[in-house]
Chain A
Amino acid sequence: MSLQKPLMRGLLAKRLRFHVPIAFALSLLAAVGWKYGVTEPRKQAYADFYKYYDATKEFTSMREAGVFESVRPTGE
């Protein structure tokens, strides 16, 4: 019976040659996906929020709702 001699060397190198580019590509994809799926929309959401943000108006409405301890609503 003559079997082919099995592969004795370079097993790790072979595996790495296959898997490392895939790992690299997937990581790159994950990073790009995160950037454009999460961080950019988040930055835009913050920009939109603060574009027309009136801090005084917000403070006054929060004060009237009675959530502060340092300032009570104007009525009291």
Chain B
Amino acid sequence: MLRLTAGRVGSLVARRATVALTTSSARMASHGHEVSEAVDMSKPMYWDRREIPLPDKRYKDILTPADKSLKEKEKGPWGQLSNEEKLALYRFSFCQTYPEMNQSSSEWKTVVAGVLYCIGLTGLVIIWQTAYVSPPAPRTFDAEWQAKQVKRMLDMRVSPIEGFAAQWDYEKGQWK
């Protein structure tokens, strides 16, 4: 009854519960052929997440009669269960194991590629802007003004101990 509509979407960020992709009941009315309902998030849900080792409910809700008989057998001594049965019982309760959940993907490559691509596009936009949008630079950017500015800073002895004027040799009149 608590079925997710979109299921396991083959998207790049598939690991999250795809509840966000469920369609509203208004849109469902126009489909007609699909009997899916929105997830009721007020009821306990199953999550494959590292920080939730024991989700609020079992993964498999609908048990076939074979499954039900296995569940009955589970009520007895567990030594009598075969390994396959134990695994089957595990898979009733859980969808993915921790190693399966923690599998790394190559998604990061796409992310990095996308980021670099966007930065590149932005760079092109900025180049265009400097050519066609920005006003002319202020006069303080002229080489002559900058030279006069440096001379004034040296005359003022800006940071004479460890910084700017410390690099200037005042006797010889040149940089050290």
Residue ranges of A at the interface with B (Cβ–Cβ < 8 Å):
1, 42, 45-46, 49, 58, 61-62, 65-67
Contacts and interface: CB of A to CB of B under 8 A. Distances in A.
Contacts of A65: 155-156
B156 A49 contact: no
B14 interface: no
Contacts of B44: none
Interface string B61-98: 00000000000000000000001000000000000000
A60 to B, nearest CB: 12
A42 B163 CA distance: 11
A42 B159 CA distance: 13
B152 A67 contact: yes
Interface residues of B, number: 10
A1 B157 contact: no
Interface of B: 83, 152, 155-157, 160-162, 166, 170
A65 B161 CA distance: 20
B155 A62 contact: yes
Contacts of A1: 83
B161 A46 contact: yes
Contact of B162 (A45, A58, A67): A45
Contacts of A67: 152, 155-156
A58 B157 contact: yes
A62 B161 contact: no
Contacts of A61: 170
Contacts of B155: 62, 65-67
A45 B157 contact: no
A3 B43 CA distance: 36
A49 B152 contact: no
Contacts of B156: 62, 65, 67
Given A46-B161, A62-B157, 12 more contacts: A1-B83, A42-B162, A45-B161, A45-B162, A49-B166, A61-B170, A62-B155, A62-B156, A65-B155, A67-B152, A67-B155, A67-B156
A29 to B, nearest CB: 24
A62 B153 CA distance: 11
A65 B166 CA distance: 17
A66 B148 CA distance: 13
In this complex, the member of B152, B155, B156, B162 whose beta carbon has the largest number of chain A beta carbons within 10 angstroms is B155
